[in-house]
Structure 1
């Protein structure tokens, strides 16, 4: 569990950091840690919109949000009845990063900090980027602290460098593929549209030089923990 290890490693240099509980949500592992069920959980709901480009996969992000709030959170509190929780964060990478953005827009009251790494904002022709107004339409309860939002991506996710043994054809294929994802452009678009929001107490955009989609997840998680603890 990368999140748990990140917290443990901090103790050697941050002895005053608060105690924490890391909660990972998944399914029983079969032949792969990536399951089709998770595609359902992370897929935003698009009422009245064209069907998402994943045939046969229903939209389950709202159900997943309700599961976190109505099942996971009460379970954790029942398992640790003597713990007083002062703050909570949600982290996700890739399609999980898209879910974090969706949860922020729909339920900004759900967590104190939202950490999104390499979000798949290209999903459904940039559907999420066309619905930034959701955050403005949400009314935060009077006793709710405004959330903080940290967005991260790697510069190689949109502009890959050629690998030493890579053929011209393979390199061109990767460049064309990553261009369709437009990770850098989409993250900057999201940041620019949200940075002035009155619903956020802070927003940070971080580009990791020399990082691609695979390597970014762990680094963004570690730095995201620093950001979360600092708030």
Structure 2
């Protein structure tokens, strides 16, 4: 059997996988769709694929309580594995209770990219929040990560999945399309239908940080109806050849006479967007222990992502388009790239739940 790891923890895969098989086709608006009848979602042409979700043995009750882990694999991509975590409220019962036995519940779901780095933060935030705000709606955290042992970031694979290589590196063709297809056409139906068939999920949010935030902004332009709320933390908008800002205008318009491809009509719910960035990302401060060379290298890296200035530009275009339900832009005083990942995640979840 294949060894599966979470950093500092050890697991063995179980022989009882859950499998989904779906085929993507071009989305066509229905009478209840938020998209104008003349403007469907951009088509993401994907071949039929099979994804198998292998459950990992449960942890001791005191470790990651009410959290289940799975590995997702596909015969079409034998060298690719996603590690999925599902964290749900204590009120749904102990981890020993099969998730299929959880019934008569309603919850919002937050899909968290770079799950190794952020899924536990999101889950802990919701569980910390409940004692002081028991009126908050139930929420499920779906972490989308990788089976890593020596890092919380799968740098090579996330560059492919998010379609966001480092500056100067070529964009991997089709990577973001395939990843969005996995999340929307395989992972989400599996969560709803196979793992929690007795839970209603009326609203979903997608969170991404850095190049994951860039992916969130791009996915919003491609499939705006896929998620109710989009949360982008320090989006690295200079990546993907800096084209995402232009794609936002192309899809949604600019609010100054240029009509976009997407027009909302009827009673469909328009998406809400939360964007956060750090004050010190575009203008970092030298740390006391850094040499000048170390500071310049750090400054060059942070400024290459352009999160501050371009986040404002993204905000202006989304607001100006008139196609969003709501858009929030938040600057975090004194924070840099890594800190904003956690701050915007928690604020973004609170924003998502407050509708």
TM-score between both structures, scaled by the size of structure 2: 0.59
Deviations 1:81-123 (A, max 9, x none): 1111121100000010001001111111001100000011011
The corresponding residue for 1:151 is 275
Compared with structure 1, are the counterparts of its residues 163 and 38 closer, same or farther at alpha carbon in structure 2 (3 Å cutoff)? same
Compared with structure 1, are the counterparts of its residues 155 and 27 closer, same or farther at alpha carbon in structure 2 (3 Å cutoff)? same
Matches within 5 A, 1:1-231: 1-35=120-154, 36-43=156-163, 53-55=168-170, 57-78=172-193, 79-132=195-248, 133-135=250-252, 136-138=260-262, 144-231=268-355
TM-score between both structures, scaled by the size of structure 1: 0.89
Is the partner of 1:25 in helix, strand or coil? strand
- Out of 141-150 and 3-12, give the one that drifted further: 141-150
1:6 Cα deviation (Å)? 1.1
Instruction: Measure, in 1, the Cα distance between the counterparts of 2:201 and 2:299.
Output: 45
Instruction: Measure, in 2, the Cα distance between the counterparts of 1:157 and 1:56.
Output: 24
Higher helix share: 1
Instruction: Measure, in 1, the Cα distance between the counterparts of 2:173 and 2:153.
Output: 17
1:2 Cα deviation (Å)? 1.0
Unaligned runs of 5+ in 1: 45-51
- Out of 114-123 and 134-143, give the one that drifted further: 134-143
Is the partner of 1:204 in helix, strand or coil? strand
Instruction: Measure, in 1, the Cα distance between the counterparts of 2:207 and 2:178.
Output: 17
Is the partner of 1:12 in helix, strand or coil? helix
Unaligned runs of 5+ in 2: 1-119, 253-259
Q: Which one has more relative contact order, counting CA pairs under 8 Å at least 6 apart?
A: 1
Aligned residues between the structures: 224
Higher strand share: 2
8 Å CA contact retained: 2:163, 2:240: no
